[in-house]
Structure 1
């Protein structure tokens, strides 16, 4: 045994059936030069016990797929995860998940594995994606020993980059919904927020094509350049 092996986190123990499904997951694909319309995207939203990146837990996952340039309502994902070991915080007042609903949810490892099977090798989109990427990545590591490597683009950055004339900076999802007059029937649960984010993403993809950004790779590169300019000190 290595002298430092005790420093490594213990791998979760999974039933053989889950281990096999985990082994069968496809590798994440880098963003390529296909058209934005040809790329399958998975748009997700998480509800969590709170906003602490290191302590809070994922309570539910909602996701929709964008395929062939449209939201595929036949490809929706929604799952509530069991969370009976941690006291629920004030976030329950926002997402409305009752303790009884959470207690009756899916076992986390199974739910997370089912989600990654749904994702496949597709890139991910979310509004304020660093939070979702961190929380999802930590949950996958804790419950499955799986390292999330999928490309993750932030719709909260894409929107001001592609639509500077809207004059919204550091705006929330509701602000962009209002700006584009999207008809959103429900908010503040994972599935509804994922759907609203997907509708916004389709508008942004259209703006990207108008700005001669033809592919997912080009969009990722343009976003990186834009973020570096935003972070550069003003002279």
Structure 2
């Protein structure tokens, strides 16, 4: 922790926001089986790729529960950002400044999202980016320390399907590998849905390989990561 952050004054919150923040769920104990584990699959669209200064512009999330995607339980919002200008990122996520200017108050959007997450573990593609962005934004807004576990589809997929023979595959590569039909990309809600579809495939594969719960999956990922790094 930096000297500045140690002595940084806590942000002043609206009374309602403070009450909601205090009521947020702690990370939950893992379910007894992957089949019964609730996951929240998240995708963020941001103003850029610098996790130290860029901002979250939109959040999309879907729930995996009881072995399927809960289509009636989805989350999506655009965050209001002052002085948001057109940049290269707009060409990718296609969120114009006018939509950002009309978005939801950031503190409310972040609280809404965390209430949606509850105590569930989070899933994303290249999850470290989403994790760092959320950690920083929640800390800046509320001095809130995000402790929820993140699971990375970009790690789990090659671990469970070593026969893929792709070099540094991205989300679109895995979509093609599994033959999924995707109608829209580079939209937070749409990308979260695609990632959730991939995660369902991976969960079934994990069970076939004798991985019975999320704790076992976590250990397998850690071991695979070490082996991969040692092989470099």
TM-score, normalised with respect to structure 1: 0.94
For 1:52-73, what per-residue CA distance to the aligned partner results, in whole angstroms no more than 9, with x for missing partners? 1111110000000001000001
- Written as runs of structure 1 = structure 2, the 5 A alignment for 1:7-46 is 7-30=6-29, 32=30, 34-46=32-44
CA distance in structure 2 between the aligned counterparts of 1:6 and 1:63, rounded to whole angstroms:
30
SS at match of 1:82: coil
Structure 2, unmatched stretches of 5+, are none
Change (3 A) 1:122 1:189: same
Query: How many Å separate the matches in 2 of 1:5 and 1:55?
Result: 16
CA distance in structure 1 between the partners assigned to 2:61 and 2:159 by the alignment: 24
Out of 57, 69, 72, the position equivalent to 2:70 is 72
> Alignment partner for residue 50 of structure 1, among 48, 51, 58?
48
Q: Secondary structure at the match of 1:224?
A: helix
Counterparts of 1:129-208 in structure 2 under 5 Å?
129-208=127-206
Cα distance, 1:5–1:141 mapped onto 2, change above 3 Å: closer
Q: Aligned to 1:37, what secondary structure does the other structure show? A: helix
Secondary structure of the 2:202 match is helix
Equivalent residue of 2:35, what SS?
coil
Structure 1, gaps ≥5 residues long = none
Structure 2 CA distance for partners of 1:204 and 1:233, relative to 1, 3 Å: closer
Q: How far off is 1:8 after superposition? A: 2.2
Q: Do the aligned residues in 1 keep the contact of 2:86 with 2:96 (CA within 8 Å)?
A: no
Report the structure, 1 or 2, having the larger helix content.
Answer: 2
Aligned equivalents of 2:199, 2:111: Cα separation in 1: 25
The answer on whether the counterparts of 2:39 and 2:121 sit within 8 Å (CA) in structure 1 is yes
TM-score (norm 2): 0.95
Runs of 4+ in 1 over 3 A off after TM superposition: 4-7, 85-88
Match of 1:99 among 97, 100, 119: 97
Deviates more, 1:7-16 or 1:200-209: 7-16
Measure, in 1, the Cα distance between the counterparts of 2:143 and 2:108: 13
For residues 88 and 81 of structure 1, the distance between their equivalents in structure 2, rounded to whole angstroms, comes to: 15
